[in-house]
Amino acid sequence: MATNTQIPVADRRVPVIAPGHTFSTIGEKISNIVLSRPVSLGWIFGFLIVFSMMNMLMMALGYLFIKGTGIWGINIPIGWGFAIVNFVWWIGIGHAGTLISAILCLLRQTWRNSINRFAEAMTLFAVACAGIFPLAHTGRPWLAYWLFPYPNTMRYWPNFRSPLVWDVFAVSTYFTISLVFWFVGLIPDFASLRDRAESTLVQRIYGLLAMGWRGSARHWHRYETAYLLLAGLATPLVLSVHTVVSFDFAVGIVPGWHTTIFPPYFVAGAIYSGFAMVLCLAIPIRAIYGLQDFITMRHLENAAKVMLATGLIVAYGYGMEAFMGWYSGSQFDSFLLWNRLHGPYRLSYAALLACNIFIPQVLWLKKFRVSTGWLWLISFVVLVGMWLERFIIVVVSLSRDFLTSSWGQYYPTKWDWMTFAGTIGMFLTAMWLFVRILPMISIFELRTLLPESQVHEAAEVKQ
Amino acid sequence: MTIETSESPIYGLMAEFDSAQELVAAAHKTHAAGYQKIDAYSPFPIEGLAEAIGFHKNSVPLVVLIGGLIGGISAYALQYWVAVITYPVNVAGRPYHSWPSFIIVTFELTILFAGLSAAIGMIALNGLPMPYHPVFNVPEFAKASENKFFLIVFSSDPKYDAARTRSFLNDLAPRMIAEVPS
């Protein structure tokens, strides 16, 4: 049998899982973070901070519900402001999770197995944060269900030709499918936690969630089919979501919005910022919870490379916008370009170019890709840059459109800032709880990365 | 290691193995020996294990196809009905049946219904949620979600015979054999 054993081709790269691990050490290491690791003072302290930030969101929203959107800095001509900037930013961040879990699954990039769970969690929390903004922006969020088609006494139906209605369907489908994908991935791990739990209560809770999963070969067979199909369905979905978000802009006629490059450019930007968020979270988490064996430098480097590649697509998008501003010969488009470079928001635009295009180019050098400190910093810069990008798209285009008489400036209020910071708090609160309640790395998928899980010799044994 | 349970009926005979390779080999042999009602348990999906116990095709893809079709057709039908029949709004003289605008919602609902069918279909076809299952009566089975591999011959198998099945399983050199009370 030994002669048949496949010896892996010598690989100079860092392995995706550190040597010396067995099926049980993987389970032990990951589930102990949830089951037996004591709650540290640092965790509580951090939780208090992010939880207070989340409560700031509650206050900001509470006041908004009482007073209305007048407390925000939005007004004509800039009716969208922070609400839509933050919505697009958060939705974009979510995209990396689905890219990692679905697209890299279809492409058989097995390194994804150690980061997909947590990236999917990030997707869910980011989409939840994103959803708050358009909801609050409707002005009367308690009537937001009017956006859905349902028989009602007003005998009214939504306008299916409107990109804003498309958005409702795209984002709610995205959230639902991400949740389902995440939950399906968690079922076998819930079973692992159930079987490892020592207290009856914990065992009951995970047992309920595992729904009686027992790892039967028939079950695994259906499970793998379903998982693959979900990945296949989530792949076009994730590409469609930011495409639809970009239609909110591209279908309008405002200069700087009405371009055909928006869908691919938005999707690339979404993945760009999403990977930046993955790195911003993964680097501290792997250090704090000692997960360097599972989230190795290989993962961080790969994520950095994806960031570099999508960043270049985004740079191409900027270049193309500038080129079309000149080439179209439309005075409004060329004015938009001038306005971005020299208008009142020129500093934001300069910062955007620095954050999204120039600074991330250092990722070409391996030195920066393998240094966690640099990588974290660059990712943070990209997150800021991508937020500025949405700010530029939303605010600069609206502030000066066709008629000089309708020009205006946008000044965010403290409520705008509180809402934005509050969603960051909500996102981090959810992450804070997630790492202690659920296995943040997929236990069973990590096990399949061990050579012992491969049964290629079995075919010979049969004869 | 045998669990003696004389009163309760026997659900099956379970053998425990140390590695995925041993389990697949044992499953092949058991299936080849003519046992039909068998199952294998592992902490992670093993390529070829389902085939080894004679389970080749599952109907999840069909469920997903049906779900996706229902989602897509109903989404388009809803939009057509709303925009053309029940609530026509004339926007700058454009046709009521402006199908390019309807593609996105049709697409999204196709994905939504297909995805939900994949998850719910998989769970339902697997017979989950299942609050009680006899295999958990074997204490060693707790390791089935960790690092041990199990093969079971159900007592409902026509070829099942307490003594002969046990000696057959014994020949597969398992770590232990246990009777599973139902």
- Note the pLDDT tens digit of each residue in B49-68: 888 888 888 899 999 999 99
Residue A139 covered by a domain: yes
Question: Residue A12: which pLDDT band, with cuts at 50, 70 and 90?
Answer: low
Residue B150 covered by a domain: yes
Q: Identify whether residues B69 and B114 lie together within a single domain.
A: yes
Q: Above 50 in pLDDT, residue A1?
A: no
Q: Which of residues 5-44 of A touch B (CB under 8 A)?
A: 22-24, 27
Residue A430 covered by a domain: yes
Residue A3 covered by a domain: no
Query: At residue A121, what is the residue type?
Result: A
As a whole number, mean pLDDT of residues A163-188 equals: 93
Domain count, chain A: 1
Is the Cα dihedral A176, A182, A183, A184 positive or negative?
positive
Q: Above 70 in pLDDT, residue A337?
A: yes
**Cβ contact (<8 Å) for A173 and B45?**
no
Helix (H, G, I), strand (E, B) or coil at B179: strand
Residue B4 covered by a domain: no
**Cβ contact (<8 Å) for A214 and B52?**
no
As a whole number, mean pLDDT of residues B67-90 equals: 94
Q: Above 60 in pLDDT, residue B47?
A: yes
Neighbour count for residue B3 (Cβ, 10 Å) = 13
Number of continuous H segments (helices) and E segments (strands) in chain A: 18, 0
Report the distance separating Cα A276 and Cα A44, nearest Å: 26
> What was the pLDDT predicted at A292?
87
Q: Which of residues 107-166 of B touch A (CB under 8 A)?
A: 107-109, 111-112, 114-116, 118-119, 121-123, 125-126, 128-133, 135-136, 141-147
Q: What is the CATH number of the domain that holds A410?
A: 1.20.1630.10
Q: Above 50 in pLDDT, residue B180?
A: yes
> What was the pLDDT predicted at A457?
52
Residue A15 covered by a domain: no
> What was the pLDDT predicted at A376?
95
CA atoms within 13 A on the CB side of B33: 21
Q: Identify whether residues B52 and B69 lie together within a single domain.
A: no
Q: CA-based angle A114:A116:A121, to the nearest 5?
A: 125
Residue A380 covered by a domain: yes
Taking the complete model, does pTM exceed 0.80, yes or no? yes
- Residue B25 contacts A where some CB pair is shorter than 8 Å: yes
> What was the pLDDT predicted at A63?
95
Residue B2 covered by a domain: no
Residue B24 covered by a domain: yes
Report the distance separating Cα A361 and Cα A363, nearest Å: 5
Question: Residue A26: which pLDDT band, with cuts at 50, 70 and 90?
Answer: confident
Q: Identify whether residues B74 and B116 lie together within a single domain.
A: yes
Residue A12 covered by a domain: no
Tokens at A110, concatenated = 């097995």
Q: Above 70 in pLDDT, residue A9?
A: no
Question: Residue B1: which pLDDT band, with cuts at 50, 70 and 90?
Answer: very low
Residue B104 covered by a domain: yes
Q: Identify whether residues B119 and B148 lie together within a single domain.
A: no
Q: Above 90 in pLDDT, residue A386?
A: yes
Tokens at A92, concatenated = 């974009």
Tokens at B33, concatenated = 């020996």
Q: SS3 breakdown of chain B: % helix, strand, coil, rounded to 5? A: 50, 15, 35
Expressed as residue numbers, the domain containing B147 is 10-56+133-181
As a whole number, mean pLDDT of residues A414-438 equals: 95
Residue B5 covered by a domain: no
Contacts of A171 in chain B (CB under 8 A): none
Site from A26, A214, A248 to mutate, B interface, most B CB atoms within 10 angstroms: A214
Cis bond before residue B174 (omega within 30° of 0):
no
Tokens at B165, concatenated = 């099945």
> What was the pLDDT predicted at B8?
66
Instruction: Say how far residue A417 (Cα) sits from the centre of its chain.
Output: 21
Q: Identify whether residues B65 and B37 lie together within a single domain.
A: no
Report the distance separating Cα A445 and Cα A149, nearest Å: 39
Range with the lowest mean pLDDT among A30-39, A256-265, A353-362, A378-387? A30-39
- The chain A residue lying nearest B111, using CA atoms, is A233
Q: Above 80 in pLDDT, residue A52?
A: yes
CA distance, residue B138 to nearest chain A CA (Å): 12
CA distance, residue B26 to nearest chain A CA (Å): 9
Report the distance separating Cα A95 and Cα A386, nearest Å: 13
Q: Which of B125, B141, B173 is the last residue of a domain?
A: B125
Q: Identify whether residues B114 and B143 lie together within a single domain.
A: no
When CB atoms are compared, the residue of B107, B118, B135 closest to A230 is B118
Residue A330 covered by a domain: yes
Residue B166 covered by a domain: yes
CA atoms within 13 A on the CB side of A409: 5
Q: Above 60 in pLDDT, residue A95?
A: yes
Residue B14 covered by a domain: yes
Q: Identify whether residues B115 and B97 lie together within a single domain.
A: yes
Q: Above 50 in pLDDT, residue A463?
A: no
As a whole number, mean pLDDT of residues A446-452 equals: 85
Domain count, chain B: 2
Work out the percent of chain B whose per-residue pLDDT is above 70: 96
CB-based burial label for B131 (10 Å; 0-12, 13-18, 19+) = exposed
Q: Identify whether residues B137 and B49 lie together within a single domain.
A: yes
Expressed as residue numbers, the domain containing A313 is 23-462
Question: Residue A456: which pLDDT band, with cuts at 50, 70 and 90?
Answer: low
Asked whether A14 and A300 are in contact (CB, 8 A), the reply is: no
Q: Which of B106, B125, B144 is the last residue of a domain?
A: B125
